[in-house]
């Protein structure tokens, strides 16, 4: 048996009938979510003090497992034609988004072992939460989400540009209307952008609001436009999912009789 090939089959997404790969996926999947739970629970001071030894031990165990998984992927990937070549293939794999996430998930643990003073980088330990992103490789359904965003990227870029344009226009208008009446709150167009974001997203925190009649008039129009404008990306993505699901069904049905293909 080719150990390298078998290792790659196990660490990759499980295929039908491969029990070892399936068990490995479930184990990693469970460990990822337990890590996220541990990070959340560890942020509570009382739990952090009482269960510090257990949380630290679990962190060490998790990092060891994820490190072995990361190294195993780099070691065995050369059996895949996409990553052929002992050096070039491994570099190509290492720069894939999911492998970068894998590295960022374990890197904060190893940083303190360097001689440099990295106390200011302790915040990077929060990157452990990125371990939940590792789940993406174990769900084929997440590929559907990727394909939808890829197919609708032009529409999403256009709506994003329109939202930025509306944000700038709204901030400029309210700045002109309110600056003289509220020079501290609406002190500049960049400062007014906070009001624009809160209003266009219909959140409206209330820390900044117009007091002049002209400002209230324009802010009402901006708020109404914002409801429709921020609903556009949702509609585009929703339509993309419907199209992708229908296309997927077509591939699994007979074009003549309409029955499911076995």
pLDDT of residue 119: 44
Q: pLDDT tens-digit profile of 49-102?
A: 888 889 889 988 988 998 999 999 999 999 988 888 889 999 999 998 778 878
User: Same domain for 134 and 211?
Assistant: no
User: Same domain for 122 and 94?
Assistant: yes
Q: pLDDT tens-digit profile of 143-188?
A: 677 778 888 888 888 888 888 888 899 999 999 999 999 988 898 9
Q: What is the mean pLDDT of residues 12-39?
A: 81
List Cβ neighbours of 48 (8 Å cut-off, separation of 6 or more): 42, 55
End residue of a domain, out of 79, 106, 139: 139
List Cβ neighbours of 63 (8 Å cut-off, separation of 6 or more): 106, 109, 110
Domain that includes residue 32, residue range: 3-139
User: Same domain for 241 and 134?
Assistant: no
User: Same domain for 95 and 186?
Assistant: no
User: Same domain for 37 and 112?
Assistant: yes
User: Same domain for 172 and 228?
Assistant: yes
What's the total number of domains in the chain? 2
pLDDT of residue 121: 43
- 72, HSE (Cβ side, Cα atoms, 13 Å): 16
pLDDT of residue 101: 79
Average pLDDT of the chain is 80
Cα–Cα distance, 233 to 21 (Å, whole number): 37
pTM (2 d.p.): 0.59
CATH assignment at residue 239 = 1.10.287.70
End residue of a domain, out of 113, 139, 165: 139
In a domain, 106, yes or no: yes
Q: pLDDT tens-digit profile of 211-220?
A: 999 999 998 9
């Amino acid at each position: 048996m080719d150990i390298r090939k078998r290792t790659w089959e196990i660490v990759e997404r499980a295929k039908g009938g491969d029990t070892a790969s399936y068990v490995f996926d479930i184990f990693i999947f469970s460990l990822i979510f337990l890590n996220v739970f541990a990070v959340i629970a560890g942020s509570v001071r009382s739990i952090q003090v009482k269960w510090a030894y257990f949380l630290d031990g679990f962190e060490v165990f998790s990092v060891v497992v994820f490190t072995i998984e990361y190294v195993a992927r780099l070691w065995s990937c050369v059996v895949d034609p996409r990553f052929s070549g002992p050096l070039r293939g491994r570099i190509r794999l290492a720069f894939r988004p999911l492998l970068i996430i894998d590295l960022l998930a374990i890197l904060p643990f190893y940083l303190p072992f360097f001689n440099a003073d990295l106390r200011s980088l302790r915040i990077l330990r929060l990157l452990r939460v990125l371990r939940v992103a590792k789940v993406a490789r174990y769900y084929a359904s997440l590929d559907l989400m990727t394909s939808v965003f890829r197919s609708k990227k032009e529409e999403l870029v256009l709506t994003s540009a329109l939202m930025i344009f509306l944000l700038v226009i709204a901030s400029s208008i309210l700045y002109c209307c309110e600056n003289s009446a509220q020079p501290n709150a609406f002190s500049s167009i960049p400062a007014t952008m906070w009001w624009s974001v809160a209003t266009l997203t219909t959140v409206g925190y209330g820390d900044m609001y117009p007091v002049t009649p002209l400002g209230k008039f324009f802010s009402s129009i901006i708020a109404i436009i914002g409801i429709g404008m921020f609903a556009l990306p949702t509609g585009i993505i929703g339509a993309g999912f419907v199209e992708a699901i229908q296309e997927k069904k077509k591939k699994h049905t007979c074009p003549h009789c309409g029955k499911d293909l076995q």
